[in-house]
Amino acid sequence: MTTQRTETGRQVEAALGEVLAHVRGETRLPCRVVDNPAAERAQLSRQSFADRFGLDARTAQDREQDK
């Protein structure tokens, strides 16, 4: 077993530090919105869309209205 920290280990440590700071409310992490045009063409009901993507129906409604 080695006692030296690897670059990968330092990167993981830094990432976990960011997560902890976010959980504590000390920082905000970036958010990415992924648009899936195929889902729009599937003509799912709002509830079906929400269920498929793990959203609540209100979030799906807000997305439809570009909120």
Closest CA to 27 of 35, 43, 15, 36: 15
pLDDT band at 47 (very low <50, low <70, confident <90, very high): confident
What is the per-residue pLDDT across 16-41, written as a single tens digit (0 to 9) for each? 999 999 999 999 888 877 776 665 56
Beta-carbon contacts of residue 41 (< 8 Å; ≥ 6 apart): none
Query: pLDDT over 90 for what percent of the chain?
Result: 33
pLDDT score for 38:
65
Domain extent listing, the chain: 1-31, 33-67
pLDDT score for 40:
59
pTM over 0.75: no
- Please report, in angstroms and rounded to a whole number, the separation of the first and last CA atoms in the chain: 52
